């Protein structure tokens, strides 16, 4: 059992959870994730390590309630425990001094991009962050992102805060303004990552995305997380999760992620009956 | 039933005792064990078939050289606990090996009765003795030698790791087992299904080791959570045994393999056995709903048999084994093939998949296959399957499970560059000691041999334990 030392909502349905996991806290690098199992009958699900405190021996996860497993986790409070956590898994982000690096996060993808943005800054890059949300209340990690950015932009779909529009429009605006961009990291919903890849493709800018296929073990043992990159099959949990955006078959990824939709709906419905706790802020 | 006064002729006249099993129609809908085990009468009768050879050649067929003639005599004499203890002198997991060893290629193959009669059912008797001991609560904890002050780390809790840990802890060493998954037992837990090997039996063995003092740490991936060098240099381990198995599923590399509904056998079996998705939604992990569907498993080994029989139990209408050679070449245990047929599994031999085809939503709808025929023998003497021109056809299937074997997971090798590996990424060892090229690091089981058997993995774990012990004690002087 692994103890939760703090759990706070950052926005509606998005919770930051700090868990005791000293070995992971000591070893993790930007871009890596953990597999967790909330309770004894729960699924194993992957979550990116958003932050860690090696001294305190804790790691932080930022979780968006999607279905049963993430909502079950978001029902947990300080002092509760989760059954299993294993990591750090996945190949760490490739970090070097690229020059000007743009980190783009969509929704909870902002949390996944955050540790890599920190590492890019530490490596001496000029860091631009663009973080998108549907509306103002859903913007997360704004102060943290500002702290690591040379330029920080927020976009909202409804225009309630920051730039009115999508992250890709902001990126295009930067490119149109004649800015030289050497590296782009994009993490968020599949349509967003695919759209970013299309924006940078004509410019030949190195663009990396963090893929979110369905995982089981997270150690390379099952092949369930396979993605098609450059017409080759890769296991995202060990070969990734980060890949060259211009080579990823996004269609295959988004199709495969629909594999268990009826079952996921059933689990979520049953959970809604079971859990009376308000998972929202 | 006086075993002493029975002539050889009388012994040879006793028919081999059939293992009682659940009715095929009933069992193909449940996950309970298929084989029910011998009764005491059956076990003694089967034991009487053994003619107690002066030169018991059966022993040479057993990879760990169990004193087969002796334990069988103990069963014939009614000393079942004595038989169990005799077996345990050489095999620490008899209830498991009695169930899953490919006996027809090992001990029972060399039994003198095999040629003219039917071999003594050594595996069934081994299982009987071990079950008798466990079910009567008579398992004795072995004595543990005084503490040596030495620390050994074992990576992986499959049969190789468990047997190594078991020997070392009895020799007085402090043993910590690191396991990547949340559950202990390796393939015995996540691969081989309950209907063939009840998980309770595996857990009973592990509980026994905990009582002896073995410390188990789950959720710990060597190479990621902690490296071999860190264990040696920072955590003070004096030696390490690597028993991480062959856990990287091979795919066929044919078009359509990433369609929805195409699984590796590892994923399918892990979802069902480890994550208990056969109890969805009580357990959260989903798995393809096989009810009324057509499922094809590609391959002919034990894993393929386990996968296809699992699909049948989950309600598949048609469950096929598709294999490119003929039945004679299938590497699966004979008993599993026999059981699979009884359960209504359809065997499509001499057939090779070329491509998977799907619908608009990218769900699998069929496997394009080519029929084969047996041609000239190849170097190994086996007749090589050759395609029949123009024989392509589409086998309609909703789910495909690829079961063509596993490679080795390279995590440890990548993070420990001074361990020598083969071209196939397996770890290279000295087979007398299981020592790797790296000082104080040993390895055994599937990570060394590639996918093999439980008994070979267990034997390797024990060989390594003996070598580690010798090394540590010499160093201590
Ligand atoms: C490497 C990686 C890192 C991730 N990091 C984060 C993170 O930091 N924060 C966060 O909120 N989310 C993260 N995710 C996504 C998160 O794992 C899924 O939202 C979660 O598994 C959904 O589970 P559920 O039962 O709540 O929802 P469900 O309703 O079961 O699923 C919702 C959707 O999530 C996907 N999904 C379902 N099961 C899995 C699974 N076992 N593994 C992966 N995806 C699945 C499917 O596309 C599905 O349609 C990450 C995913 C990956 C692969
Ligand atoms: C479905 C199936 C059916 C089979 N049926 C039979 C049969 O009937 N008879 C027979 O004799 N053999 C059978 N086999 C083969 C047999 O199970 C294996 O040969 C045997 O389990 C190998 O043992 P092992 O200890 O080397 O590895 P495994 O049993 O594979 O155990 C390795 C363990 O190490 C863990 N691990 C992996 N990487 C790491 C890491 N980096 N850090 C920490 N832990 C790690 C794994 O999670 C696993 O628990 C079958 C195999 C399968 C898959
Ligand atoms: S361990 Fe396997 S090979 Fe050896 S006697 Fe038992 S069943 Fe036969
Ligand atoms: S070879 Fe067969 S008959 Fe002879 S001792 Fe062994 S089991 Fe008995
Ligand atoms: S999640 Fe099983 S191999 Fe990646
Ligand atoms: Mg789910």
pLDDT for the residue numbered B245? 95
Task: Establish whether A225 is an annotated binding residue.
Answer: yes
Q: Which of B95, B98, B104, B460 to mutate to test the pocket of ligand 3 (most atoms within 8 A of CB)?
A: B98
Residue A32, token pair as written in the block: 């890596």
Domain end point (choices B347, B374, B404): B404
Q: Which of A47, A87, A214, A217 to mutate to test the pocket of ligand 5 (most atoms within 8 A of CB)?
A: A217
Residue A107, token pair as written in the block: 């929704």
Closest ligand 1 atom to A237 CA: 1
Nearest to B225 among A23, A37, A270 (CB): A23
Q: Is B260 on the interface with A (CB under 8 A)?
A: yes
Nearest-Cα residue of chain A relative to residue B256: A252
Percent of chain B with pLDDT strictly greater than 70: 99
Q: Is B362 on the interface with A (CB under 8 A)?
A: yes
Residue B137 has pLDDT above 90, yes or no: no
What is the span of the domain harbouring residue B255? 251-404
Q: Taking Cα atoms as reference points, which of B153, B272, B206 lies closest to residue A224?
A: B272
End-to-end CA distance of chain A: 26
Identify whether residues B218 and B308 lie together within a single domain: no
* pLDDT tens per residue, range B402-430: 999 999 888 898 889 999 999 988 999 99
- Indicate the SS3 state at residue B428: coil
Domain end point (choices B135, B160, B188): B135
Q: Which residues in chain B are contacts of A216 at CB distance < 8 A? A: 267, 270-271, 275, 285
Instruction: Characterise B172 by phi-psi region: left (phi > 0), alpha (psi -120 to 50), beta (else).
Output: left
For the Cβ of B69 lying below 6 angstroms from any atom of ligand 3, the answer is no
CB B165 within 8 A of CB B188: no
Do B284 and A68 count as a contact with CB atoms less than 8 A apart? Answer: yes
Q: Going by CA atoms, what residue is nearest to atom 3 of ligand 3? A: B62
Report CA(B362)–ligand 1 centroid distance (Å): 21
Task: Establish whether A275 is an annotated binding residue.
Answer: no
Do B409 and A220 count as a contact with CB atoms less than 8 A apart? Answer: yes
Q: Is B248 on the interface with A (CB under 8 A)?
A: yes
Q: Taking Cα atoms as reference points, which of B471, B452, B472 lies closest to residue B160?
A: B452
Nearest-Cα residue of chain A relative to residue B275: A43
Do A216 and B275 count as a contact with CB atoms less than 8 A apart? Answer: yes
For A235, B109, B133, B324, B393, the CA distances from B412, given in Å and listed in that order, are 17, 37, 38, 34, 43
Identify whether residues B257 and B393 lie together within a single domain: yes
Nearest to B258 among A27, A228, A267 (CB): A228
Q: Which residues in chain A are contacts of B283 at CB distance < 8 A? A: 41
Count of CA atoms in the C-beta half-sphere (13 A) of B398: 14
Residue A187, token pair as written in the block: 């993490």
Identify whether residues B452 and B335 lie together within a single domain: no
Predicted ipTM? Answer: 0.95
Q: Going by CA atoms, what residue is nearest to atom 8 of ligand 4? A: B50
b/e per residue B195-213 (b: at least 16 CB within 10 A): bbbbbebbeebbebbeeee
Q: Give the range among A193-197, B372-376, B451-455 with minimum mean pLDDT.
A: B372-376
CB A70 within 8 A of CB A33: no
Domain map of chain A by residue range?
2-89, 100-258
Do B285 and A216 count as a contact with CB atoms less than 8 A apart? Answer: yes
Q: Which residues in chain B are contacts of A31 at CB distance < 8 A? A: none
> Residue B151 forms beta bridges with which residues?
B174
End-to-end CA distance of chain B: 54
CA dihedral B275, B400, A191, A281 (to 10 degrees): -20
> Residue B393 forms beta bridges with which residues?
B369
Instruction: Count the neighbouring beta carbons within 10 Å of the beta carbon of residue B302.
Output: 25
Identify whether residues B73 and B159 lie together within a single domain: no
pLDDT for the residue numbered A278? 47
Identify whether residues B35 and B92 lie together within a single domain: yes
Task: Establish whether A238 is an annotated binding residue.
Answer: no
In sequence order, what are the residues at sequence separation of 6 or more whose Cβ sits closer than 8 angstroms to the Cβ of residue A270? A68, B281
Q: Which ligand is nearest to the CA of B444?
A: 2
Q: Which residues in chain A are contacts of B415 at CB distance < 8 A? A: none
pLDDT for the residue numbered B414? 86
For the Cβ of B446 lying below 6 angstroms from any atom of ligand 2, the answer is yes
Do B270 and A222 count as a contact with CB atoms less than 8 A apart? Answer: yes
From CA A36, how far away is CA A86, in angstroms rounded? 7
pLDDT band at B476 (very low <50, low <70, confident <90, very high): low
Does residue B140 fall inside a structural domain?
no
Nearest-Cα residue of chain B relative to residue A263: B286
Do B270 and A270 count as a contact with CB atoms less than 8 A apart? Answer: no
Do B275 and A44 count as a contact with CB atoms less than 8 A apart? Answer: yes
Query: φ and ψ at A198, to 5 degrees?
Result: -70, -30
Residue B5 has pLDDT above 80, yes or no: no
Q: Which of B98, B126, B219, B244 to mutate to test the pocket of ligand 2 (most atoms within 8 A of CB)?
A: B244
Identify whether residues B173 and B303 lie together within a single domain: no
Q: Is A27 on the interface with B (CB under 8 A)?
A: yes
Do A263 and B280 count as a contact with CB atoms less than 8 A apart? Answer: yes
Residue from A75, A263, A271, A272 to probe the interface with B (highest B Cβ count within 10 Å) = A263
Identify whether residues B68 and B185 lie together within a single domain: no
Q: Which ligand is nearest to the CA of B414?
A: 2
From CA A31, how far away is CA B326, in angstroms rounded? 47
Which residue has tokens 């074992």? B154
Report CA(A237)–ligand 5 centroid distance (Å): 5
Q: What CATH number does the domain containing B297 carry?
A: 3.50.50.60
pLDDT band at B378 (very low <50, low <70, confident <90, very high): confident
Residue A175, token pair as written in the block: 């490119």
Do B247 and A41 count as a contact with CB atoms less than 8 A apart? Answer: no
pLDDT for the residue numbered B216? 98
Q: Give the range among A168-172, B311-315, B382-386 with minimum mean pLDDT.
A: B382-386
Nearest-Cα residue of chain B relative to residue A40: B283
Task: Establish whether A75 is an annotated binding residue.
Answer: no
Do A27 and B224 count as a contact with CB atoms less than 8 A apart? Answer: yes
> Residue A36 forms beta bridges with which residues?
A45, A85
Q: Could you please report the per-residue DSSP string of B378-420?
A: -TTSPEEEEEPTT--EEEE-SEEEE-S-EE---HHHHH-TTS-
Beta strands in chain A (DSSP E): 2-11, 14-20, 33-37, 45-48, 51-53, 58-64, 81-82, 84-89, 100-106, 126-133, 151-156, 163-164, 183-187, 206-210, 226-229, 232-235, 242-244
For B18, B35, B100, B156, B392, the CA distances from B197, given in Å and listed in that order, are 19, 9, 8, 19, 38
**Which whole number is the average pLDDT over B1-25?**
85
Residue B29 has pLDDT above 70, yes or no: yes
* pLDDT tens per residue, range B397-408: 999 999 999 998
pLDDT band at B1 (very low <50, low <70, confident <90, very high): very low
Residue B217 has pLDDT above 50, yes or no: yes
Do B251 and A223 count as a contact with CB atoms less than 8 A apart? Answer: yes
Report CA(B173)–ligand 3 centroid distance (Å): 28
Q: Which ligand is nearest to the CA of A51?
A: 1
Identify whether residues B46 and B131 lie together within a single domain: yes
pTM of the predicted structure, to 2 decimals: 0.95
Report CA(A270)–ligand 6 centroid distance (Å): 12
Q: Is B45 on the interface with A (CB under 8 A)?
A: no
Q: Chain-centre distance of CA B349, in angstroms?
A: 24
Task: Establish whether A237 is an annotated binding residue.
Answer: yes
Report CA(A37)–ligand 5 centroid distance (Å): 15
Identify whether residues B273 and B398 lie together within a single domain: yes
Q: Which of B91, B176, B186 to mutate to test the pocket of ligand 2 (most atoms within 8 A of CB)?
A: B186
Residue A35, token pair as written in the block: 């597999």
pLDDT for the residue numbered B413? 87
Residue B389, token pair as written in the block: 């021109």
CATH class of A100-258: alpha beta
Residue B47 has pLDDT above 90, yes or no: yes
CA R_g for chain A: 18
Identify whether residues B265 and B391 lie together within a single domain: yes
- What's chain B's average pLDDT? 94
Nearest-Cα residue of chain B relative to residue A22: B225
pLDDT for the residue numbered B410? 86
Q: What CATH number does the domain containing B125 carry?
A: 1.10.1060.10
Does residue B376 fall inside a structural domain?
yes
Identify whether residues B16 and B130 lie together within a single domain: yes
Report CA(A280)–ligand 3 centroid distance (Å): 58
Q: How many domains does the structure of chain B reveal?
A: 3
Domain end point (choices B360, B375, B404): B404
Does residue B143 fall inside a structural domain?
no
Q: Which ligand is nearest to the CA of B206?
A: 2
Q: Using 70 as the pLDDT threshold, list the residues of chain A that sit under it.
A: 274-281
- Which of 2.40.30.10, 1.10.287.130, 3.40.50.300, 3.30.70.1380 is the CATH number of A2-89? 2.40.30.10
């Amino acid at each position: 059992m692994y103890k939760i030392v703090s759990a706070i909502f950052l926005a509606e349905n998005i919770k930051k959870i700090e868990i005791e996991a000293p070995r992971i806290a000591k070893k993790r690098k930007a871009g890596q994730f953990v597999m967790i199992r909330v309770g004894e009958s729960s699924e194993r699900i992957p979550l990116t390590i958003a932050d860690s405190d090696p001294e305190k021996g804790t790691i932080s996860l930022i979780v968006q309630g999607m279905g049963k497993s993430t909502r079950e986790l978001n029902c947990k409070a300080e002092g509760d425990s989760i059954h299993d956590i294993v990591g750090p898994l996945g190949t760490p982000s490739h970090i070097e001094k690229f020059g000007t690096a743009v980190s783009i996060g969509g929704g909870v993808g902002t949390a996944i991009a955050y540790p890599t943005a920190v590492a890019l800054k530490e490596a001496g890059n000029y860091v631009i962050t663009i973080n998108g949300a549907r509306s103002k209340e859903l913007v997360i990690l704004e102060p943290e992102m500002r702290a690591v950015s040379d330029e920080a932009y927020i976009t909202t779909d409804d225009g309630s805060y920051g730039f009115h529009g999508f992250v890709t429009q902001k990126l295009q605006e930067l490119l149109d303004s004649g800015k030289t961009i050497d590296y782009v990291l994009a993490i968020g919903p599949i349509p967003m990552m695919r759209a970013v890849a299309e924006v940078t493709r004509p410019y030949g800018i190195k663009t990396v995305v963090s893929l979110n296929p369905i995982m089981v073990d997270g150690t390379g043992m099952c092949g369930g997380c396979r993605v098609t990159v450059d017409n080759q099959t890769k296991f995202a949990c060990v070969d990734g999760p980060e890949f060259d955006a211009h080579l990823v078959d996004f269609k295959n990824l988004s199709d495969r992620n629909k594999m268990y939709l009826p079952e996921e709906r059933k689990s979520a419905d049953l959970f809604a009956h079971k859990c009376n706790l308000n998972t929202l802020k | 039933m006086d075993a002493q006064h029975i002539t050889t002729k009388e012994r040879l006249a006793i028919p081999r005792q059939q293992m009682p099993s659940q009715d095929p129609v009933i069992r193909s809908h449940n996950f309970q064990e298929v084989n029910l085990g011998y009764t005491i009468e059956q076990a003694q009768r089967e034991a009487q078939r053994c003619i107690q050879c002066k030169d018991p050649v059966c022993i040479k067929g057993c990879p760990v050289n169990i004193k087969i003639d002796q334990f069988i005599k103990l069963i014939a004499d009614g000393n079942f606990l004595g038989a169990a203890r005799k077996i345990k002198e050489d095999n620490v997991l008899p209830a498991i090996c009695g169930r899953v060893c490919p006996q027809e290629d090992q001990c029972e193959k060399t039994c003198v009765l095999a040629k003219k009669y039917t071999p003594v059912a050594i595996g069934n008797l081994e299982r009987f003795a071990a079950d008798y001991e466990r079910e009567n609560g008579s398992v004795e904890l072995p004595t543990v030698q005084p503490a040596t002050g030495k620390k050994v780390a074992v990576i992986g809790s499959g049969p190789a790791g468990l047997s190594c840990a078991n020997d070392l802890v009895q020799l007085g060493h402090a043993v910590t087992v690191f396991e990547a998954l949340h559950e202990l037992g390796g393939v015995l837990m996540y691969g081989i299904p309950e209907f063939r090997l009840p998980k309770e039996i595996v857990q009973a063995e592990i509980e026994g080791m905990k009582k002896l003092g073995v410390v188990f740490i789950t959720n710990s991936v060597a190479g990621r959570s902690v490296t071999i060098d860190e264990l040696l240099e920072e955590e003070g381990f004096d030696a390490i045994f690597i028993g991480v198995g062959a856990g990287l599923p091979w795919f066929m590399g044919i078009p359509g393999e990433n369609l929805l509904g195409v699984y590796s056998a590892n994923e399918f079996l892990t979802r069902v056995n480890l994550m208990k998705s056969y109890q969805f939604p009580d357990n959260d992990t989903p798995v393809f709903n096989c009810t009324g569907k057509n499922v094809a498993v590609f391959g002919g080994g034990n894993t393929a048999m386990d996968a296809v029989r699992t699909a049948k139990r989950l309600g598949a209408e048609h469950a096929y084994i598709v294999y490119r050679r003929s039945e004679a070449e299938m590497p699966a245990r004979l008993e599993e093939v026999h059981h699979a047929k009884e359960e209504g599994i359809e065997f499509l031999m001499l057939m090779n998949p070329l491509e998977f085809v799907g619908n608009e939503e990218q769900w699998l709808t069929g496997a394009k296959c080519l029929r084969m025929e047996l041609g000239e023998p190849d170097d190994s003497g086996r007749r090589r399957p050759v395609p029949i021109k123009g024989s392509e056809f589409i086998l309609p299937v909703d789910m495909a499970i690829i079961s063509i074997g596993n490679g080795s997971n390279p995590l440890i090798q990548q993070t420990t560059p001074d361990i020598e590996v083969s071209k196939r990424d397996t770890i290279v060892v000295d087979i007398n000691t299981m020592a790797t090229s790296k000082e104080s690091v040993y390895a055994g089981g599937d990570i060394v041999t590639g996918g093999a058997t439980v008994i070979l993995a267990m034997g390797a774990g024990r060989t390594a334990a003996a070598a580690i012990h010798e090394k540590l004690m010499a160093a201590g002087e």
